């Protein structure tokens, strides 16, 4: 299925900060499972052993531009965001 970022934000009752209302085709929970970075949405989940937020810089370098976060991310680290 394909959903826009704004549609996903409404579904999960989240505030969306949009640069583009991208169509998402892949939901990522594991940063190692990327096959289409341009249409992926990464959920930065905090767990007992790992914090998904720590993987955002590497995912950004690999082309992912869509993230669900629970903490503020420094925009200066991500050109064009």
**HEC per residue, the chain:** CCEEHHHHHHHCCCCCCCCCCCEECEEECCCCCCCCHHHEEEECCECCCCEHHHHHHHHHHCCCCCEECCCCCCHHHCCCC
Check residue 80 and give its pLDDT: 57
**Residue at 80 is within a domain:** no
CA distance 13 to 28: 19
In a domain, 78, yes or no: no
In angstroms, the CA 48 to CA 23 distance is: 31
What digits encode the pLDDT tens for the residues 6-51? Answer: 999 999 998 888 888 899 999 999 999 999 999 999 999 999 999 9
Residue 45's CATH number: 3.40.1390.10
Summarised one tens digit per residue, pLDDT across range 69-79 is 998 877 656 66
Model confidence, pTM: 0.85
- Count of domains in the chain? 1
């Amino acid at each position: 299925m394909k959903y826009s970022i704004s549609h996903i934000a409404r579904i999960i009752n989240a505030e969306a900060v949009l640069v583009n209302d991208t169509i998402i085709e892949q939901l990522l929970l594991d940063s190692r499972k990327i096959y289409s970075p341009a249409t992926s949405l990464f959920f930065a989940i905090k767990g007992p052993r790992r914090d998904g937020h720590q993987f955002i810089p590497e995912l950004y370098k690999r082309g992912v531009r869509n993230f669900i976060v629970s903490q503020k991310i420094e925009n200066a680290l991500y050109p064009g965001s």
